[in-house]
Structure 1
Amino acid sequence: MRAEDTVLILLAAGRSQRFGDADKLAQEFLHKPVAYHVVTALEAIPFLDRVAVIDGTKLDFASRGYDVIVNDDPAAGMSRSVQLGLRAARAKGAKGVVIALADMPRITAAHVYRLLDTARDDADAVVASSDGTRPCPPAVFGAGRFDFLESLEGDAGARDLVRAGRHVVTTPAELIDIDTPEDLDRLRAIAEAPDQHDAITLPQPEPWWHPRPE
């Protein structure tokens, strides 16, 4: 699937009960906010459009080339943010979407291109990332899956769809997810002491298609 035919949907909710009162996406990691790492990593990919769905963060995604959509009902679950992003993708005539999380600061463009290559030009494509054990974001969905994804409610519903799709394996280190202050501390520890990488437990993502713990 060509990047030029897909819309990037970046789920960028700054509110996180597990992180406390702070905006986790704005927390500093390697001299810039957590969320700007994935923004920088994917900025050269020629997507049809980029959409950031936010519900609390004050980060300026618009200045980084994103159409910003505010999820005014975050209590409805992450599926609400996905729905808002999909509506924007439909309006652009997208043949597919890449759904990524802003709290995964080690995602690379090379991996996203592998996801798109695996999706081919397939309207029913479902291609997720994997650490070799379970599927997780980022993920690619063809336009033929939009109706189903928009019908979901809460934080779950697409689990079986994703499990039955294709999976592109990458290193667990690339799929680090930041949900708690402790997760961020571990990530900083890895950056400061890469030789200790194997001794540090890495936080792995809770996919948006699974119920997320409070």
Structure 2
Amino acid sequence: MARGRGMIAAEDTALVLLAAGRSDRFGDLDKLEQPYLAEPVGMHVVTALAAVPFRARIAVVSGTTLDYGARGYRVVQNPRPEDGQGRSLGLCLAAVRESGAKAVLIALADMPRVTAAHIYRLLETATGDDAVVASSNGEHPTPPALFGAAHFDFLEALTGDEGARRLVMGGRHVVTSPAELVDIDTPEQLQALTAKVMQEARD
């Protein structure tokens, strides 16, 4: 059976926000709750993508006090974040299917500089239900990444931290500034990013 080749619209796409990381290198602190400019780290991508008309918004969380539900997200709890991002993604696929979405856009809550403009570029590059489109810093692919409905079964069965890496490597890659794709793993990275952005604002 032939698969559809039409461009995938935001209105046909479910956004899945992975916000269940363990924050190991932040000690007892939840890195997503740490202040970055005017908001917690984990809310910047929520604000940046608020105007994108996704069919559904789903956040998978574990132990955070951030209220994604108040920002229009269906919240899915991951009781075992140590099982990796693959498990977090798999837990969300039931909600993605229920929404009737033709694709899923996966974003990470610890990437506070992602823009809506870049997300639209991913959507514009995706065609058909077998689409695989990831971001790239010019050297390697990274989230955010989009997957058409033909891959939902595969995504739902994921475990561990390997996730969809092999699938992504064979997909299309949309290059953007490495600064947009920075993720926060340590307090030092957060401090450096804050200092850099404040310096850019002064210049």
Q: TM-score, normalised by structure 2?
A: 0.92
Aligned residue type for 2:167 = L
Does structure 2 conserve the Cα–Cα contact (< 8 Å) formed by 1:190 and 1:196? Answer: no
Local SS of the residue matching 1:4: helix
1:18 partnered with 2:25: yes
With over 3 angstroms needed to count, the CA separation of the structure-2 counterparts of 1:145 and 1:37, relative to structure 1, is same
Percent of aligned pairs with the same amino acid = 62
1:35-87: CA deviations, max 9, x gaps? 11110100000000100100121101111111111101222221111011122
For 1:93, which of 63, 83, 100 is the aligned residue?
100
- Aligned partners of 1:167, 1:131: CA distance in 2, in Å? 9
Q: Quote the residue 2:66 is aligned against.
A: 59
Residue ranges of structure 1 left out of the alignment (5+ in a row): 198-214
Aligned pairs for 1:1-214 (under 5 A) are: 1-13=8-20, 15-120=22-127, 122-194=128-200
Q: Are the aligned partners of 1:14 and 1:57 in contact in 2 as well (CA < 8 Å)?
A: no
Contact 2:49/2:116, CA 8 A, preserved across alignment: yes
In structure 2, C-alpha distance between the alignment counterparts of 1:154 and 1:20, rounded to whole Å:
22
Greater relative CO, 1 or 2 (CA 8 Å, sep 6+): 2
Runs of 4+ in structure 1 off by over 6 angstroms are none
Count of matched residue positions in the alignment of Structure 1 and Structure 2: 196
> Which blocks of at least 5 consecutive residues in structure 2 are unaligned?
1-7
Q: Distance in 2 between the 1:141 and 1:196 partners?
A: 39
Assess if the C-alpha contact under 8 Å between 2:22 and 2:82 holds in 1.
no
TM-superposed CA distance for 1:158, in Å, is 2.3
Equivalents in 2 of 1:76, 1:142: separation in Å?
Answer: 24
The question of whether the paired residues in 2 share the 8 Å contact of 1:15 and 1:56 is answered with no
Q: CA deviation at 1:160?
A: 1.9
* Contact kept? 2:86, 2:164, Cα under 8 Å: no
Q: Is the 8 A contact 2:90 2:159 kept in 1?
A: no
In 2, are the aligned partners of 1:26 and 1:35 still within 8 Å (CA)? yes
What letter corresponds to residue 53 of structure 2 in structure 1?
A: P
Q: Is the CA contact 1:15–1:57 (under 8 Å) kept in the aligned structure 2?
A: no
Letter in 2 for 1:49: A
Q: Per-residue CA shift, 1:155-207, capped at 9, x if unaligned?
A: 1142221111000000000001001101101111111212899xxxxxxxxxx
In 2, distance between residues paired with 1:154 and 1:196?
42
Indicate how the Cα distance of structure 1 residues 195 and 63 shifts in structure 2: closer, same or farther if over 3 A, else same: closer
CA–CA distance in structure 2, aligned partners of residues 14 and 143 of structure 1: 25
